[in-house]
Every structure is written in C-alpha cells, then in structure tokens.
Amino acid sequence: MMKLSRNRWVLLALIGIGLYQYTFAEQSVEVAGYEVHYSVVRSTFLQPEVAARHDIVRAKNRAVITISALHDDSIPPPTRITGIVVNLLSQQIPLEFKLVEEGAARYYLASFLFTSEEPLTFKVQLHLDDGPHEFSFKQPVYDQ
C-alpha cells in the first residue's frame, strides 16, 4: 500500500516537472505598437517534417525561438528581426532569424545551441521604419 502511494507521488512530481518547462511556452510583450509573441522550445519538440521544412536541426542540445509581431494594418511589419542569446558565462550566441510566411501568418524562427537548465537571456531587436526596438527576457531550456 505504501509503495503504491509513493509511486503516485513520484508520477505526479514527474508530470509537474514535465509541465514546468511548458509554462514558459509562449509569452508576449508590447514593443513599439506591436504585440510581440515569443516562444522557446527544444528542437526535438518539432516534428521531423516541420524541422526539415525550415532547415532546423533536431538535437538534444538545440532549441528554437519563434517570434511573431502582431499589429494593426496601419503599422508596417518589421523589416527584419535580429538577436542574441547570452549564457551564464556571458557568451553571446547570435540568433539568425528566418522569416516564415504561411498564408496570413508571418513569424520568425532561429535555432541555437544550449546547455540544459542554464538560464539564458534573450535580447531581440525588431527593425522597424523608425529604427530598432529591443526587448529581452530570461528563460531556461531543458533537454529532457
């Protein structure tokens, strides 16, 4: 009886840990009149055909950041998006965003290497007609 109860607790703890990483799944921020949605996931989270279509390497130590800048029709879209990831050693890893247009959807993808559970700082710039506008956020990525 005690073993069954203990197994349930372990199962609940594992589910909680598994769901914790997805609490960071998508977030948003207001930048220069845009509602910017961003998401960071492990590259292995992507289906192989989706990763192949966007030239993304699926690996345990690779992740993908997705950014979508929503606005009303009176504001022109970003001309491009650039950024870096900064790790605990203050190493700066450039993010090379690719524009993806699927129907009416327009978003940017970049792939990068990471070390599990290391808190990463993302610094992203939206390049607009009036110049670059930056936002940043911190998030760990897990390789499980």
* Alpha helices, DSSP H, located in the chain: 2-20, 48-53
CA distance 112 to 23: 20
* pTM for the structure as a whole: 0.77
CA angle 37, 41, 43 (to 5 degrees): 130
Residue 70 CA: distances (Å) to CA of 39, 76, 83, 90, 106: 14, 10, 18, 31, 9
26-140 maps to which CATH number? 2.60.40.3340
Per-residue pLDDT of the chain (144 residues; tens, 9 = 90+): 444 433 333 333 333 334 334 444 569 999 988 899 999 999 999 999 999 999 999 999 999 999 998 887 766 678 799 999 999 899 999 999 999 988 878 899 999 999 878 899 999 999 988 889 999 999 988 876
**CA-based torsion, 138, 41, 117, 22: positive or negative:** positive
Cβ proximity of 46 and 38 under 8 Å: no
